[in-house]
Structure 1
């Protein structure tokens, strides 16, 4: 059961190097109570444009992410418009989709809900914006 916000990360890989270092870092962060890797899914774009699940590195993972991200289509009555994984994976590309729960933010989320706050928007600064932020802070 999730207590903190869950982020969907979609990472494109031109030349993947699955050496275990990213999973090791996620494990370290999990042991420190910072984040929890909810699920991990590796997908590739087939020649016909469809997405295929790559099972070589999953080790039994991917079912939760596939079910969640393959969910409600925007055309269904009453469905909220949502982004599609198919829209972000490039042609003949490979992507890793990670569902990461931010455990550190659980108490903050609870305090915000208790205060009656409603999330209106959520976004992350791009690399370019983070570089600009660094110059503005110095």
Structure 2
């Protein structure tokens, strides 16, 4: 059984999410929930960008000192930047956004999985496929099961 080199860094899966919000409905509830995940060690935050797309399609990267970011509650994360995201990532994110919205582009490590990743590697295993199943698909499948009971 191959052993993992103790000097080799174990990196858990790294994901990104683009969360879109209606500018008029920002409550600030998402930021404390994100902070809770970070503080409990569930995730490690690499990057957080707040993006704004006006009705005319004009795009801005919102500075955390702006009132809009304060309203969204993400000012706690000012300076969360690893350099992973580049201009092409920002362009793709803003292309996906609906005009008149604000979005949080977040890159994070699933630190909860690090121990499992280390065990898989120590056992000679490697990830050969991965996909995210949309929550709505799971809910629909569970609802269909409930209807057959």
| Residue in structure 2 matching 1:125, options 120, 133, 137 | 133
Alpha-carbon RMSD? 3.1
Greater gyration radius: 2
Is residue 4 of structure 1 aligned with residue 12 of structure 2?
yes
Structure 1, unmatched stretches of 5+, are 74-82
What is the TM-score with the length of structure 1 in the denominator?
Answer: 0.67
1:18-57 C-alpha deviation (Å, 9 max, x unpaired): 42x3222222222322122222111012566453201122
Is residue 52 of structure 1 aligned with residue 70 of structure 2?
no
Report how many residues are paired. Answer: 125
What is the TM-score with the length of structure 2 in the denominator?
Answer: 0.64
Q: Secondary structure at the match of 1:34?
A: coil
The answer to whether the Cα contact below 8 Å between 1:30 and 1:36 also exists between their aligned partners in 2 is yes
Q: Which has the larger helix fraction? A: 2
| Residue in structure 1 matching 2:37, options 7, 29, 33 | 29
